[in-house]
Amino acid sequence: MQGVIVKGIGGLYYVDCEERVIECKARGKFRHKGLSPMIGDEVVVEDDNDHEGKGVITKILDRKNQLLRPAVANVSQAFVVVSSKNPDLNVTLLYKFLLLCEYNKVRPIICFNKMDIESENSKAIGEMLEKSGYEVLYLQGKHGVGIEGLKAKIHDNITVFCGPSGVGKSTILNKVLGREVMKTGDISNKLKRGKHTTRHSELVRVEGGFLVDTPGFSSLELDFIEKDELKYLLPEFEPFNEECKFNNCVHFKEPGCKVKEMVEVGRINESRYEFYIRTLEEIINRGNRK
């Protein structure tokens, strides 16, 4: 049988084989190879002859990608959830989440939540990001507004929720599933950020695909991205990356740069380019410190 690992607890793995979920152990050979099964893995399962109704994972199929936090494999898309108010929108943090998605070859769908509280700023930034090549949805998760549109994106995907604490990821997940799978917490008035209420990662089958909720992050380190990789992680750069005067142009101080030209004429958003330069300088300075 072939299936997807949806949960792992204490050396036991629960594999969704469509007809049923089978509790499995993993063959010792994986441990000897330094390979551990993880949530999202597509695996081959055989019956455990010693335990009726149980199984043994005999093969882990090649992974398309692997996230470390949360530890999930084969993620195909991410709902990047943000809000303009409660908490206030941190645009730099949003851009970092988008970089993380692009780096891991995960398709990001930006979800502006809490549109009932504040919509003007969300719409302005959302329109800019749509012009930059991203898909944007507008939600009122608490009231179920926009949830059907979200459901339509889930089929045939393993979808991860990401975004800052307190923006309503768990609330949206519960609305999608129609039941409370993840506990939700109130915003801390003192800290203005969400309480960490999501306790573990688990795939949940819904709408012909799988969802996984993640803890919220207040900051993101991108110290694994190399200088020459960064320019390929902004989709609005893609049509112009190969049109510069120099093949190794990183769109910074080089003459004859097509990307800088597109910024000047308004084809590429200036704030997005400024974020790119700040991130590039961080990468360069990191390399100089080594």
Question: How many beta carbons lie within 10 A of that of residue 275, not counting itself?
Answer: 19
| 192 closest CA partner among 80, 85, 79 | 85
| pLDDT of amino acid 134 | 97
Q: Which pLDDT score, from 0 to 100, does residue 87 have? A: 92
Q: H or E stretch including 172?
A: helix 169-177
Q: Which domains does the chain have, with CATH numbers?
A: 2-62 (2.40.50.140), 72-212 (3.40.50.300), 230-289 (1.10.40.50)
* pTM to 2 decimal places: 0.87
pLDDT at 232: 98
| CA-based max dimension of the chain | 69
For residue 16, the number of C-alpha atoms closer than 13 Å in the C-beta half-sphere is 17
CA 239/CA 243 separation, integer angstroms: 8
Tell me what pLDDT residue 271 has: 96
* Three-class HEC string of 211-264: EECCCCCCCCCCCCCCCCCHHHHCHHHCCCCCCCCCCCCCCCCCCCCHHHHHHH
Regions of the chain where pLDDT drops below 50? 186-199
Instruction: Give the tokens for residue 193.
Output: 């950020």
